[in-house]
A and B are shown apart, each in its own frame.
Chain A
């Protein structure tokens, strides 16, 4: 089987790309390991109720999923890509497994849209039953409407920590504590950037403040600059301790930011660069998402630094929440303009066209 475009990952970038490519007449295949479209950000979106405690930003993903379903793209859920053979001229051949059977699909172009993962940060006791990621708590809420029973502690740094604390609270299961591990120095450094980012970053800032105010109104204690975090217990989590404190707990949800999922890009031996700010590897891509191999590109949160004019970011902010209006993308935007609708926002009637720009991704998870 040969396709024009094979997209890996049915998150926001993948869904938007698949629908647009199909509409433009490309024979498109979208492959994803999960049961349903949405990736992690919009996990479970097709079953989401209007009353979801996850909020309007999450519900905005329904449009993307509907766009995918309504397109002529071949959508292959429950399918794993386990190997890619790059073609010397462009694209390559994907080896896939679905329902225990393996097959190959040749693609003239490949778009990797596998997104991001939560940064795994080992700490003593992190393998104890009862310890999970903050993302896992959110996935349980999204896919099964489940909330933790008993005493839940969230620990780490980054907006997702506060967002999920608030979402759990709205869902009737407020955490007993939020422990933030970001050092105070990060806040001082971020404060120095405030004058230049205040206006371009106003929306993200407003969202962040709303999160923090929401938690404060709900009476959730937030401890800052926590060090020496440990999970303790015999056979399962019983307490969470840190330098200068301890609390009995049934659940500990950890989060230390998001980093690109580089499994496929590394397996392809694409060029990567170490990102000193976010402390992670990123695939090297140009403004169009093109990698070091012809016909293979990366879109979405799995992508790389947009070249030498990097955006500075707030302390602990995941890349997806950074404002993306760099001068380097002006040329790209101008060239792509004819294929774009007005920027999507919740409440717009779907125009049938979707933007592959970063604004197709949500502004909050």
Chain B
């Protein structure tokens, strides 16, 4: 539920948020992309399955954890959006991959 302000430069970077392609401006973080896609939460907590979304936008609250390009639990506010980036919800605890 965030929108570009009037007079903002054009959004040119295409990323995927939960399978949906959206355009975000250069300089936007993956967390900003999530908010532009209309999501207010991006994860469920591991123990209580509580819905959480970006809170501080500066890397100290750890509530914006998302799966980015297959890597789980990444602080989405600390990752710059790049063309083709795939951003998905972090559903609870990280699943262990044993090859």
A interface with B by C-beta (< 8 Å): 33-36, 40, 43-44, 47, 49, 51, 53, 117-118, 120, 127-133, 135-136, 139-141, 143-150, 171-173, 235-237, 250-251, 261
Q: Are B52 and A250 within 8 A (Cβ)?
A: no
- Is B21 an interface position by the 8 A CB rule? no
Q: Are B58 and A147 within 8 A (Cβ)?
A: no
Residues of A within 8 A of B61 (CB): 120
- Is B6 an interface position by the 8 A CB rule? yes
Q: Are B56 and A136 within 8 A (Cβ)?
A: yes
Complex: chain B residue closest to A254, CB-CB: B55
Q: Are B2 and A236 within 8 A (Cβ)?
A: no
Q: Are B40 and A49 within 8 A (Cβ)?
A: no
Residues of B within 8 A of A33 (CB): 59, 78
B interface with A by C-beta (< 8 Å): 1-9, 24-29, 32, 35-36, 40-41, 50-61, 63, 77-78, 80
Residues of B within 8 A of A236 (CB): 40-41, 51
Complex-state Cα separation, A101 to B1, whole angstroms: 36
A140-B56 contact, Cβ under 8 Å, with A34-B78, A147-B3, A235-B51 = no
- Chain B interface mostly: loop
Residues of B within 8 A of A118 (CB): 56
Q: Are A136 and B25 within 8 A (Cβ)?
A: no
Residues of A within 8 A of B3 (CB): 146-147, 149
Most buried by A among B4, B8, B50: B8
Known: A118-B56, A139-B57, A148-B1. 20 other contacts (CB 8 A): A33-B78, A35-B80, A36-B27, A47-B26, A47-B27, A117-B56, A127-B50, A127-B55, A127-B63, A130-B1, A130-B40, A132-B57, A133-B55, A139-B77, A144-B4, A144-B28, A144-B32, A147-B4, A171-B5, A251-B1
